[in-house]
Amino acid sequence: MTIAKRRAGRFSAVEVALPAVVLLLSAPQARAFFHNSPDLEQGRVIYTANCASCHGADLAGQPDWQTADADGTYPAPPHDASGHTWHHGDIMLRDYIKRGGQAVLGEMGVAYASGMPAFGDRLTDSDIEAVLDYIKSTWPEDIRAIQAERSAIEAGAP
C-alpha cells in the first residue's frame, strides 16, 4: 500500500499537514531535524546483534507477521516503514524494548503471549536510544515526521 493511501485512510488533518510544514524548513534545518544522532552506526551494530534474528537484518520482519502462530504468539513485525513501529511514540517504543511485550501489554490489560523479549538487562538506555535512531533512519522523511509528532503528543506537548 502506498504511503499516500495509508495517510488518506488513517490520519487526521494534522498528520496530513505535518509533512508540508517540514517541507517549509530550510535544508540545513531539515537535516538537523532528521539526522540529529551521532549514534547511527552504534545503533546498527546493536540492532544486528540483538534484533535482526527476529525482526530481520533488513528490518522486514518475519513472513506472515500479521497471522498468529499455533501457540497464539505473533511473528516479529517489520521495523521498516511497512510495519507499525512508526505508529507508536518514543515513550512506548522505549518501554516495549526495555520491558518486553508481555510486561507492557499485561499492564494495559491485554492478555497476550508476546514473543518480544525484554532487553532492559542487556541494553542501556542509550543503547535503546541508538537502536531506535537506527530504525528511524530507515524511514522516509514523511514517516519520520509523523512519528516525531506522535512522540511529541505522547510526551504531552501542547
Nearest to 101 by CA among 71, 75, 138, 62: 75
Minimal distance, residue 25 CB to ligand HEC, in Å: 27
Minimal distance, residue 28 CB to ligand HEC, in Å: 30
- Nearer to ligand HEC by Cβ, of 32 and 153: the residue is 153
User: Exposed e or buried b for every residue in 25-56, given b needs 16+ CB within 10 A?
Assistant: eeeeeeeeebeebebeebbbebbeebbeeebb
- Nearer to ligand HEC by Cβ, of 30 and 94: the residue is 94
- Inter-residue contact 55 to 131 (CB < 8 Å): no
- Nearer to ligand HEC by Cβ, of 25 and 92: the residue is 92
Catalog residues that contact ligand HEC under the rule CB under 6 A. Answer: 50-51, 53-55, 73-77, 79, 83-85, 88, 93, 96-97, 101, 114-117, 119, 131
Distance separating alpha carbons of residues 41 and 48, to the nearest angstrom: 11
Minimal distance, residue 73 CB to ligand HEC, in Å: 6
